Amino acid sequence: MMRTILMLFTGGTIASVKTENGLEPILDAGQILSYLPEIEEDIQLRTIQVCNLDSTNMDHRYWMKLVDVIEENYIRYDGFVICHGTDTMAYTAAALSYLIQNSAKPIVLTGSQQPIQMEITDAKKNLQDSIMYAADPESHGVCLIFDGKVIAGTRAKKTQSFSYHAFSSINFPELASMQHGKIVRYIPEEKPSEQVRFYHEMDAKVFALKLTPGLKPAILEAVFAEYDCIVVESFGVGGIPDSMIEDFCRLMKQYPEGSRVVVMTTQVTYEGSNLATYEVGRRIKGRFRYLEAFDMNFEAAFTKIMWIMGQKGLSFQEIEAMFYSRINYDLLLF
């Protein structure tokens, strides 16, 4: 049975060539595919060049372009593969998990640590694995495939700067692995019971505040004035330093409920947060309303609140309910 795959190209290392200023994404979709070994006869590929940029420059505007292209072509294809730079690929995978929900068709993100035109490169294998996975009728939803790992879109994080095994699945098992041209599934994927839903709004006014020892509370005034949501990367299992708690409480009361949201998360990669563990975490309960990321990736928590706040006009209770709803394996401990 013929399977049709739409490949979306956005640039990144996989499309880069060496220039006097360093690696630069220059190759287009056709040039990239010319380096790819022959694909199985029952898979038909089509391509669209969405953009061609270093993924450092990726943001919500390009996420919306990807959503638009996939929605326009959703009926025509059996699966989608997005070629993307590695530096922000985990953010894009998480964002698309919220912007495209209940997809019975696979939406796979991949890329490489070395350009595809180099003699020694991981690009060809990652592309082959992604195409094969996207062509399988048992594959659904948004995921990231790299170095043979199939990772849920909300659980991926880049944990190695240069190595081919650049991505890890955080606080959740890999969905599957690609072994010698075969898919070995660890978690059976159930076809969504609801119809696919596309979203087209995100609130870009979300600020990541990484706590550091001695951070001055004066920064909060400007952050609250400019941003709708503050994602606090706290120490350990979570808490706010003595020097900042009164300013947090004052500013949260200064703005109408629901217009400013605080999400508490942790700088620690594995095992998540639990503000109930220590006094520095417990004391903010009851002082102001906040959300806690628990075992969610930072990338997932950050893009999820962008998606939620983009819906506009929600009460804090509605924001809270959406944040704690489980989407694409993003939250287990709540």
* pLDDT higher than 80, residue 38: no
Q: What percent of the chain has pLDDT over 90?
A: 77
* pLDDT higher than 70, residue 45: yes
Instruction: Compute the half-sphere exposure of residue 140: CA atoms within 13 Å on the CB side of its CA.
Output: 17
pLDDT digits (tens, 9 = 90+) for 216-238: 999 999 999 999 999 999 999 98
Of 156-165, 191-200, 250-259, which gets the smallest average pLDDT?
A: 250-259
Count of other CB atoms within 10 angstroms of residue 312: 7
Structural contact between residues 79 and 135, judged by C-beta atoms closer than 8 angstroms: yes
> Two tokens at 286?
């009851």
pLDDT digits (tens, 9 = 90+) for 318-330: 999 999 999 999 9
pLDDT at 48: 94
Range 3-198: architecture per CATH: 3-Layer(aba) Sandwich (3.40)
Per-residue confidence band for 35, with pLDDT thresholds at 50, 70 and 90: confident
pLDDT at 136: 96
Per-residue confidence band for 110, with pLDDT thresholds at 50, 70 and 90: very high
> Two tokens at 177?
């692995």
Structural contact between residues 128 and 216, judged by C-beta atoms closer than 8 angstroms: no
pLDDT at 41: 78
Q: What is the mean pLDDT of residues 264-274?
A: 94
- What distance in Å separates the CA atoms of residue 180 and residue 174, rounded to the nearest whole number? 17
The owner of tokens 């909060």 is: 220
Q: Show me where the domains of the chain are located.
A: 3-198, 206-323
Single out the residue of 173, 245, 175 nearest to residue 215, CA to CA: 245
56 is catalytic: no
* pLDDT higher than 90, residue 191: no
* pLDDT higher than 90, residue 206: yes
* pLDDT higher than 90, residue 257: no
Range 206-323: architecture per CATH: 3-Layer(aba) Sandwich (3.40)
Instruction: Out of 4, 10, 13, 154, pick the active-site residue.
Output: 13
pLDDT digits (tens, 9 = 90+) for 53-73: 999 999 999 999 999 999 999
Structural contact between residues 332 and 172, judged by C-beta atoms closer than 8 angstroms: yes
Q: What is the mean pLDDT of the chain?
A: 93
Phi-psi region of 298 (alpha: psi -120 to 50; beta: other; left: phi over 0): alpha
* pLDDT higher than 90, residue 4: yes
Which of the pair, 257 or 92, is modelled with greater confidence? 92
Q: What is the mean pLDDT of residues 276-305?
A: 89
Task: Say if 3-198 and 206-323 have the same CATH topology.
Answer: yes
* pLDDT higher than 70, residue 334: no
pLDDT digits (tens, 9 = 90+) for 126-149: 999 999 999 999 999 999 999 999
pLDDT at 211: 95
pLDDT at 258: 83
Q: What percent of the chain has pLDDT over 70?
A: 100
